[in-house]
Amino acid sequence: MLLALAILAVLAAAPIEVGTDLVDAGRLEAGLRARIGPTLDDWKITVTPTGQAGQVHVSIALRDGQRFGQAVQFAGKTVEDRTRELAASVALLIEVYPQHQASPLDGSTSPPASGSSAGQEQPPRQPGPGEPAPAKPLRPALRGWLGLGPRIELGSGLRFEAGVDLMGGLWLARDHVQPILSLNFSGGARHGISVLHGRFGAGAAFGAPLGPGDRLWLGAHLLAHALYIHAAEKATDATWLSSTEIGGLLQYRGRRLFLGLRTGIDLTLPAVSIRGTRGVVRREIPRWCFGLMVGVVFG
């Protein structure tokens, strides 16, 4: 189901083709939607390298096939800064496109800087007669993920547990911080005693993007949960405990596809012993945990 949703999300995305690692396609789309909204779906945008350092060629076209292109020289040093500059430049190209339909340009432009070399700022472009006033720039949409996947735990006492995690998070503070919400169901059995667990909680991860286009994200996480444990043999019993997961995680962030891998230790307090007719099951501290996640990127 999640894979089908991811495929539909990709097919429904705006036609933006990025053939360079200087910018991030997902952030470029998010920045353009924040600036021009659903109008983006009427355009086809192609970004290709020019062979010069820090420069790309941008081509925009309406559905009627008419095309307009310019070269963009970057001033930013990071993928995030360059993507923000390119989104501003493409939004400006779309805004002035009607003025160039008769004679398309193929020149070079640089994103607007905070000030010119002479220390003077250029005045904003005023709308001509009959042109609507430009809309105020919107704040970029939050970018995050939602995923579902298996989870296993290993330890003494109750040696093996398996279950499923439902988790979601946001990338904040220039992608260095992730607040995360978590819901989990798992279970195991030993000595004829069936033990089921339900967790819900929240936490945060801290790390940094890596790789071409910042597709990878590596960091450490801390998740605090309330843990409901239910044991059953001839009789049943239940209680509430606390569960804290500490470890590391690696994520892949595609345009719409999200993949996550995490591992660490789970600290369940206090330790609990479950007595049955054929033995005792003790849930020890700590336990090793491992999880996979498949989901979608939104925003």
Q: Express each pLDDT in 31-73 by its tens digit.
A: 888 888 777 777 788 888 887 888 888 888 876 666 777 888 8
Tell me which of 103 and 42 has the higher pLDDT. 42
pLDDT in tens, 152-183: 999 877 888 999 999 999 999 989 999 999 99
Q: Which burial class, exposed, middle or buried, applies to 125 when counting CB atoms under 10 A from its CB (0-12, 13-18, 19+)?
A: exposed
What is the dihedral sign for C-alpha 89, 60, 298, 149?
negative
> Domains of the chain, with CATH numbers?
14-109 (3.30.160), 143-298 (2.40.160.20)
Under 8 Å between Cβ of 243 and 227: yes
Under 8 Å between Cβ of 160 and 152: yes
Q: What 3 state SS string does 102-157 have?
A: CCCCCCEECCCCCCCCCCCCCCCCCCCCCCCCCCCCCCCCCEEEEEEEEEEEECCE
Confidence of residue 136 (pLDDT cuts 50, 70, 90): low
Confidence of residue 105 (pLDDT cuts 50, 70, 90): very low
pTM of the model: 0.56
Tokens read off for 229: 């444990």
pLDDT above 60: residue 232: yes
Under 8 Å between Cβ of 89 and 76: no
- pLDDT of 149 reads 97
Under 8 Å between Cβ of 222 and 203: yes
Q: Are strands 67-73 and 272-275 parallel, antiparallel or unpaired?
A: unpaired
Q: Give the relative orientation of helices 79-96 and 25-36 as an angle to the nearest 10 degrees.
A: 40
Tell me which of 164 and 83 has the higher pLDDT. 164
